[in-house]
Structure formats: structure tokens, C-alpha cells
Amino acid sequence: MNVAVVGLGAMGANALWRLAERGVSVVGFEQFTLAHPLGSSHGATRLFREACLEHPDLTPIAQLAKTLYRELEEHSGEELLRITGGVMMGAPDSDVIAGTRAAASAHGLALTDLSHAELAERYPQLAGLAETDVAVLDPGAGVAFPEPTIRAAVDRARSLGAAVVENTRVLAVEPGDDGVIVRTATGEWLADRVILAQGAWLAAELPWIELQPIRTPMTWFGPRATAADGASHAPSDVAAPDATEFALERLPVFVRQLSESEVLWGHGTVGAVAGPEKGALIKAGVGDIWQERVRIDPEQLDRGVTPADWRQVSALLAKAVPGIESLPARVDPCMVTISPDDQFVVGRSPRHPRVIVGGGDSGHAFKHAPALGEILARFALDEPQLVDTAFIDPARFA
């Protein structure tokens, strides 16, 4: 058995690793360099949550991912996942609270309830709490580090004999009865199975699924500065914050539903693992589930930055976390690929049994990346799955 993996981002890099661990002959193709900033698998950190509010059946996938993160850390000697716990906030019947509770209930996870008063006392950095706001603490939440994870997965795969072809675009994938031909400008490879994991570029390969690539800026903010004379730059009614209040240990992963259509997420400063430019900053963003979605062509992504990229998140942060600067310290364009039901598209293609699909990240895939790589490897090798994959099966759109 030999397998080709097209795309070495979140899903593809981990599929390459999991196949190589089995001694499979595997080659991975990446159109750019490894861990590049041109797709969907960059940005220093990604939220990790065990009680996954997007779908209860994501929780076993997150638990498998955690196990595999730890295994990959053993191989690489690097920290790839930091568990700090996370706070999910909103009205008791909000999607954030209800979804988190549903996942925890379905899989026996223990959550800690915080009343309105307890939430305000425990997290003084937060402001503008509605009278109905409560919180649940997910002890399994934290942050994953995407670029080191991708490099570690590919390095481990290479050490086990995997071949990696960087800076090479796959021009065609041609499945047939005897195998799959993978064509590039410099040659062709014949594989028994192929895994398609091209992120935003996967939409063009699967026209029978309405995958929608969208542009999603990532934003980082600093604590409000204090002038040399000790005067705060914050508004007169907001005290100058102590920067340590915004460390990840004090302001962990949070997802906060502010209204029916507004969700704010983020986490405190991480430190050196995220890199000097981003580790000392607070990362925050707006959930895109209820936002207007404008389909983009990944070949024509606008990588410029304008105030439109941070206007909404800045306005929400001014109300919710007033101790940070209103202007972002850094903005990086990213891409998310939305599936019609906001769940992943991972499994065997119903159009051809030799083609395995890994995509439709819908903005919440990296936390699951090692597990999704394992799932893809098992599909490629016709092995039984360790978790339920029916809800992410590409056949649901056939």
C-alpha cells in the first residue's frame, strides 16, 4: 500500500505522520513551504476545547487529538498543546452555554458552573456582563500551537521514511481502477490511495460539495499602555490594567456570546512558544457562524489589511475586555473553508473509493488536527475508526 497526501496543513501533515507510523509508503505534497502563512493553518495559537459546542460528537475526536498531541510532543520535544481550562460565557440558553453543556453531558465531562457573581469576581478583566450572563468552565480547554505542530508531524513522518515534496503544486489527481495518478509540473506519482487535504483549495476539487472559502483576519491586541507619568491611556472610568492580568494563566481561553448573533473568543498572552511578535499579545476574534460570508478565491486572497478587518472585534472588545488597546497590534489574513452544515468533511469520497477527503475546517479544525490525521489514515488503509465519523462523512453531501 502506498498513499499520497496532497496538502500538508493541519489535516494533511498529521495524516502523513499517522501513515508513516504504520510503516506505510507515503509521499506528501505541499504547494508552499511547510507551516506557511498563506492558508488556514497558521497564527501562533488555536483554541482547544474538549467540550465542543459545535457538535457533541466532536468531543471524542478532541480527546483522541489530545492523546496524539502528547505523543507528538514526546517525539518532538516541543510543547504543542497547553491545557489551561477555558471559560464559556453567555445566557443559560445561549448557543455557547447550551452547546458546551450538550457535549459535556453526552460524554460524561465534568464542567464547573459559575454564577453571574462568581464570573465577575473570578475574571475581573471582563466587563459589560449582562444580568443573565453565567459561565461554565471546561477544564480540558487550552491552546494548540499550529506551526510547531505541523513541523513536528512532518519531521516525525520524514524520520520514519515519508517523502515530502515542497513548493510543488499538484495539477491533477486522476483516480482509476489500478490506482491514483498525482500529476505535478515536474512529474507524476502512482498511489493506491490519495488524501486530498488542500484547505481552501479543496473547494475547487469537490464541486459537488458547496464548500465556501472565506477570508478571516486574525487579530492580536496589547494591554492598554500607561504613560510615563503613570497616567492610564484607558478611558477615565477604566483603571490602567496590570499586564499580568492578561496572561493566559489569568485570562484563559474564552468564548463569550454577547448577543444572539455576536460571539467573541480569545485568550490571554501565551509567551515564547507563540513567538516574540505574538506571544506577548492577547488574541481575539469574532465567531463567524452568524456573520455574512463572502466566498473568496484562495488564489486571489486580499492580503492587505484595512480597518474593516478589525472594526467589529475592536468594538466588541471595548465593551467586553476594556483593559486592552482598541487598535490591534497585529492583523494577519487567514482563510476558513465553511461546509454547508459547519461540520468537517472527512472520509472516503463517494465518487471514488481510492480518494479520501479532509477539509471543511469551518473555523474549528486545528484543535482536532492530530485526530483528523488519524481518521484520514484509517480511511486510507481501510482500518476501523476509533470514533464516530458519520456526522463528518463527505457522503452526506453526495
Average pLDDT for consecutive 10-residue bins of the chain (398 residues)? 97 98 98 97 97 97 98 98 97 96 97 96 94 97 98 98 98 94 96 98 94 96 66 45 84 95 95 81 84 87 95 96 95 96 96 96 96 98 98 95
Q: Strand 179-184 relative to strand 262-267: parallel, antiparallel, unpaired?
A: unpaired
Per the CB < 8 A criterion, the answer to whether 216 and 222 are in contact is no
Q: Tell me how far apart the alpha carbons of residues 203 and 322 are, in angstroms, rounded to a whole number.
A: 39
Please tell me the predicted confidence (pLDDT) of residue 82. 97
Answer yes or no: are the C-beta atoms of 353 and 180 closer than 8 Å: no
d(CA 15, CA 8): 9
What total number of domains does the chain contain? Answer: 1
Rg value, the chain, Cα: 21
Per-residue confidence (pLDDT) for residue 277, from 0 to 100: 77
Vertex 61 angle, CA 156 and 50, to 5° = 105
Which residues form the domain of 32?
A: 2-397
Q: Three cell numbers at 149?
A: 505542530
How many angstroms separate the CA atoms of 46 and 381, rounded? 29
**Domain of 156: which CATH number?**
3.50.50.60
For position 303, what pLDDT does the model report?
95
- In this structure, the strands spanning 2-6 and 193-196 are parallel
Beta-strand pair 262-267/282-286: antiparallel
CA distance 327 to 250: 22
Alpha-carbon distance of 232 to 226, in angstroms, equals: 4
